[in-house]
Amino acid sequence: MTAASSSLPHSAQTGPHEQLAALIARRAGNPFRKPVAPFSLEAFARFTTICDPARPLIVDSCCGIGESTLNLAERFADHFVLGVDQSSDRLSRAPALPSNALLLRADMADIWCLLRQHAWRPARQYLLYPNPWPKIGQLARRWPAHPVFPVVLALGGVIECRSNWRIYVEEFALAAQLIAGIDAPVDTFVPGEPMTPFERKYLASGHPLFRCVLPLAGRT
Binding site for ligand SAM (CB under 6 A): 62-64, 84-87, 90, 107-109, 128-131, 196-199
- Pair 158, 214: CB distance under 8 Å: yes
Nearest to 157, CA basis, from 79, 76, 59: 59
- Residue least distant from ligand SAM (Cβ): 64
Q: Which is nearer to ligand SAM, 120 or 198 (CB)?
A: 198
CB atoms within 10 A of CB 198: 22
| Least distance (Å) between residue 51 CB and ligand SAM | 18
In terms of CB distance, is 129 or 172 closer to ligand SAM? 129
Rounded to a whole number of angstroms, the minimum distance from the CB of residue 36 to ligand SAM is 12
Which of these, 42, 46, 57, lies nearest to 116 by C-alpha position? 57
Strand partners, 157: 217
| Residue 61, H or E segment | strand 57-61
Rounded to the nearest whole angstrom, what is the least distance from the CB of residue 32 to ligand SAM in the complex? Answer: 13
Closest to ligand SAM by CB, 16 vs 64, is: 64
Inter-residue contact 24 to 150 (CB < 8 Å): no
**83 or 218, CB closer to ligand SAM?**
83
- Closer CB to ligand SAM, 110 or 170, in the complex: 110
Q: Which is nearer to ligand SAM, 113 or 176 (CB)?
A: 113
CA distances from 38 to 33, 35, 43, 111, 119 (A): 15, 9, 9, 11, 20
CB of 64 vs ligand SAM, minimal distance in Å: 3
Q: What sections of the chain are H helices per DSSP?
A: 20-27, 38-50, 67-75, 88-91, 108-117, 149-155, 166-180, 197-204
Minimum separation from the CB atom of position 13 to ligand SAM (A): 18
In whole angstroms, the minimum distance from the beta carbon of 135 to ligand SAM comes to 16
